[in-house]
Structure formats: structure tokens, C-alpha cells
């Protein structure tokens, strides 16, 4: 009898509930999160996005419990640094080409 050891990678998910339906989003697939007028929109690396009512500070705390790499670069944006293609003094360009604003308060974090 032979045995093999395999490294099983644990995939973290961020769960949200919208209209009674629970959605699980893989943390590693989340590129950035945007907040606007009380609505949170999560953008994934496959081009999909999901929106729900919420507050960025709550989402930030929940996401950072799962993955501390996420960076708050503006009061309205939380980004996954794995998807940052380029940085500029006033913005960050994501791998999908989207330009995310950088707030003065958050400049040192990137």
C-alpha cells in the first residue's frame, strides 16, 4: 500500500445575502470593491460584479478577517493588490484597465 500526501489549499469565500439568497465569492477572485451612495459593488477577475446595500467600513473589516492583503486606497475603494497593474500619484490601475482613485488619507498604504 502506498500513500501520497497532498497539499489541499483552503479557498476562502466572502458570503453575502441578497434578498434571502446567499452568495459565496472566492476572495482570490475579487479584484476591487466599490462603495457609492450606500451600495457596495464587488468586481471579480472574470468580469462579473455583484451589488448590494452596505457600508464600506463593515465590508472592509469582514474582508480583512479573511485576507489581510486587501488595501483601502480611497474611502470608496478596497483593492486586492494582486490585481494592481500600475500605480500613479492619484490613482491605481487594475489589471482590467479600471482606474481606481487614491485618496490623500490612504496614499501611504500602496
Q: pLDDT tens across 41-77, in order?
A: 999 999 999 999 999 999 999 999 999 999 999 999 9
The H-or-E segment that residue 48 falls in is none
CA distance 37 to 28: 26
- Are 70 and 80 spatial neighbours (Cβ–Cβ below 8 Å)? yes
Q: Is the pLDDT of residue 107 over 80?
A: no
The arithmetic mean of pLDDT across residues 77-102, rounded, is 94
What's the grid cell of residue 11? Answer: 479557498
Question: If pLDDT is split at 50, 70 and 90, which confidence band does 9 have?
Answer: low
| Full set of structural domains in the chain with CATH | 17-105 (2.40.50.1020)
The number of residues making up the chain comes to 110
pLDDT at 3: 47
Q: What is the DSSP letter of 94?
A: E
Q: Is the pLDDT of residue 81 over 80?
A: yes
Diameter of the chain by CA atoms?
Answer: 62
How does the average pLDDT of the chain come out, rounded?
Answer: 89
Amino acid at each position: 500500500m502506498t500513500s501520497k500526501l497532498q497539499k489541499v489549499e483552503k479557498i476562502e469565500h466572502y458570503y453575502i445575502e441578497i434578498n434571502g439568497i446567499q452568495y459565496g465569492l472566492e476572495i482570490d477572485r475579487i479584484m476591487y470593491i466599490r462603495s457609492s451612495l450606500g451600495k457596495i459593488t464587488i468586481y471579480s477577475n472574470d468580469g462579473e460584479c455583484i451589488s448590494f446595500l452596505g457600508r464600506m467600513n463593515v465590508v472592509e473589516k469582514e474582508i480583512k478577517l479573511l485576507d489581510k492583503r486587501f488595501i483601502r486606497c480611497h474611502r470608496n475603494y478596497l483593492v486586492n493588490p494582486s490585481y494592481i497593474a500600475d500605480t500613479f500619484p492619484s490613482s491605481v490601475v487594475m489589471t482590467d484597465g479600471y482606474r481606481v482613485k487614491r485618496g490623500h488619507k490612504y496614499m501611504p498604504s500602496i
